[in-house]
Amino acid sequence: MVPDLVQHPRMEIIQTKDIHKSFGTLEVLKGIDLSIQSGEVVSIVGPSGAGKTTLLQILGTLSRPTSGEITLDGVAVHTLSDRELSRFRNTRIGFVFQFHHLLPEFSAYENVCIPGYIAERPREEVESRARELLEMLGLSHRLNHKPAELSGGEQQRVAIARALINAPAVLLADEPSGNLDTKNKEEIHRLFFTLRDTLGQTVVIVTHDEQLAQMSDRRIEMVDGLIHPATPNL
């Protein structure tokens, strides 16, 4: 079973130094210095086009910076090869998107297990952990249901369980409640803080939802490719 309210020591889990990202002549990120501690829930906010999602993709190693350095969980990820990055991403980073991206032909339980199988972890360990996570997220009665048989909120909780299966150093979420009704949105928001409190999970969220941003341990505002001076690193 997942333990309750475990105390986890704080350490720097993400550090970026002078991150720039350009697409052709368009400079989207203009020098991002950021430090995030383990066990923090951090929201990144700002207007469309500010560079929020680009930054999240770089933090998640889905995109490489044009220049700058990134250290995640003690690894200088900007120095890794594509193959090394793929392995690192699978085992150390969990992703949650606005749309759940569950595989429709597989059950909730199977969807959660897949990243563990890809990581070549022992099958029994993966399957036991998948059951624990789905139970913790209130889905023990939905293990064998396929995505089409689940509500939007249930699908997103399955996606969160899938993101957690390999015990990632950080959970990255891009507008995770943007496609949900008010009730399910509030449940997903509370869930991130439950994960912080029970697992010591670090969560970085790009969101337009000001309520979620204000709930977070830290709110970082981006404007025109830079972190707003009013929201410096802590």
Provide the pairing of β-strand 26-37 with 226-227.
Answer: unpaired
Q: How many CB atoms lie within 10 A of CB 9?
A: 7
Q: Is residue 1 part of a domain?
A: no
User: What is the rounded distance in angstroms from the CA atom of residue 197 to the CA atom of residue 126?
Assistant: 22
Q: Is residue 3 part of a domain?
A: no
- Residue 15 scores a pLDDT above 70: yes
Over residues 145-156, mean pLDDT: 88
Residue 233 — very low, low, confident or very high, per pLDDT cuts 50/70/90? very low
Q: Is residue 232 part of a domain?
A: no
Q: Is residue 5 part of a domain?
A: no
Over residues 45-60, mean pLDDT: 88
Q: Residue 217 — φ and ψ, nearest 5°?
A: -65, -30
- Residue 234 scores a pLDDT above 50: no
Check residue 90 and give its pLDDT. 85
User: What is the count of structural domains for the chain?
Assistant: 1
Q: How many CB atoms lie within 10 A of CB 207?
A: 22
Under 8 Å CB-to-CB from 67, ≥6 apart: which residues? 18, 19, 20
User: What is the rounded distance in angstroms from the CA atom of residue 85 to the CA atom of residue 91?
Assistant: 10
Integer Rg of the chain from CA = 17
Q: Is residue 89 part of a domain?
A: yes
Q: Is residue 167 part of a domain?
A: yes
- Residue 198 scores a pLDDT above 80: yes
Contact 41, 217 (CB under 8 A): yes
76's enclosing H/E stretch is: strand 75-76
Structure tokens at 17: 């130094």
User: What is the rounded distance in angstroms from the CA atom of residue 49 to the CA atom of residue 122?
Assistant: 42
CATH number at residue 46: 3.40.50.300
Q: Is residue 2 part of a domain?
A: no
| Mean pLDDT value across the chain | 85
| pTM as predicted | 0.84
Q: Is residue 233 part of a domain?
A: no
- Residue 33 scores a pLDDT above 60: yes
- Full residue range of the structural domain in which residue 179 is found: 12-227
Over residues 42-51, mean pLDDT: 87
Of residues 113 and 228, the one with the higher pLDDT is: 113
